[in-house]
Amino acid sequence: MHWNIEQIAWALILAAHLVLLVVLLGRDSSRRFPWFTAAIAISAVRLLADHLLHGKLTTLAFYWQSYTAMTVDAIVGILVLVEVTRQIFSSGKGGLRLNSRGWLGWSLVTVAVTIAAVWAWGPWPVWQALKAQPAQLPLLLTVLAGLKGQLFLGLLTLQVGLLSRFFGKRFGYGWRSQAQQILLGLSTNALGFLSVQAISESIKRTVHLTSRAEYNRVVHLLTNLDNARNAVWFLVLIWWIVWLGRDEPGSATPAEAVEGPPQPVGPPELDAGSVGEPGLSE
C-alpha cells in the first residue's frame, strides 16, 4: 500500500492530536484548559470521521457533515479564546485584574472590528438567491455559517493573540506561560488559515480557465496551499506538545506540590542533663 502526501499528513496530524491529548491529561492541564482540551479532542474526532466517511456519503450528506463540523469548530474556538484570555486577564497573578468595564469595552472593540472585517472580506450571497430554493435554504445557511464562522474565528484569534502578547506580561503572564503559548499557536494557525484563504480566493477571482491543463494546474496549486496549511497546523501541534509538556515558569513541580513548602529549621533541642558546664569534666 502506497500512501500519498495527503494521507501521510493526515496520519501525522492525527498522531500529534493524540500525543497532545496525552500531554494535556498527563500534566493535568485538561483541568486548567478544559475547552482547549475539548477543541483538540473534537478536531481529532473530525479527522477520523473525515477519513472513515470519505467517499461513502452522498454530496448532500457530505455538505451537512463538513459545514456543521466547521460551525461547531468555530463556536468551540471562540470558547477557547474566552477561556485563555480570562485566565490571563482575570487571574490577578501579576497584581492586575481586568474589571467588568474593561472586559466589556475590549470585547465590543474586538468583536466590532472582526465583524467589519468579515463583512468586507468576501462576497455575501443575495437573499433573493437564497430564497429561490427554499428546500435547500437550511443547508445554504449552514454552509454560510461554517465559512463565515471560520473566518470570524481566525480574525478574532489574531486580535486576541496580539492583545495578550502586548499586555499579558503586565498581568503576570509572560510569553513562556502556557496560556500565552496556546494563544501563540492559535494565532499562528489562524494566520496560516487566513493567508491560504486570501490566496485561494485571489486565484479563483483572477484565473480564467481555458483548457484542461490549466484547470489541473490550478487544482494542483490549491492542493499545495491546503497541504501548506496542514503543515502549519502540524507544527503548531508539535509546539504545544513541547511547551505544554514542560513545567510553567514560576509553578511548583509535582513533588513540591505534594510535599508542600519546606518547613523552617530551628536550632536542635538539647537535653539539659546531657550537657555539662563549660570547662568542667567528670
One DSSP character per residue, 9-65 reads HHHHHHHHHHHHHHHHHHTTHHHHSHHHHHHHHHHHHHHHHHHHHTTTS-HHHHHHH
Write down how long the chain is: 282
One DSSP character per residue, 231-254 reads HHHHHHHHHHHHHHTSPPTTPPPH
Q: Which one-letter DSSP state was computed for residue 211? A: S
Query: Alpha helix (H) ranges present in 58-123?
Result: 59-90, 100-121
Rounded Cα–Cα distance for residues 151 and 120 (Å): 11
Please, are residues 153 and 200 in contact by the beta-carbon 8 Å criterion?
no
- Can you give the pLDDT at residue 32? 92
Burial class (CB in 10 A: 0-12, 13-18, 19+), 64: middle
Cα–Cα nearest to 25, from 183, 256, 244? 244
- Can you give the pLDDT at residue 272? 40
Rounded Cα–Cα distance for residues 118 and 279 (Å): 91
Q: Which pLDDT tens digits describe the chain residue by residue (282 residues)?
A: 567 778 888 999 999 999 999 999 998 889 999 999 999 999 999 999 988 888 888 889 999 999 999 999 999 999 999 999 999 998 888 788 888 898 999 999 999 999 999 999 978 888 887 778 788 889 999 999 999 999 999 999 999 999 999 999 999 898 889 999 999 999 999 999 999 999 999 988 888 888 888 888 998 899 899 999 999 999 999 999 999 998 887 665 444 444 454 455 444 444 444 344 434 333
The predicted model scores a pTM of 0.84
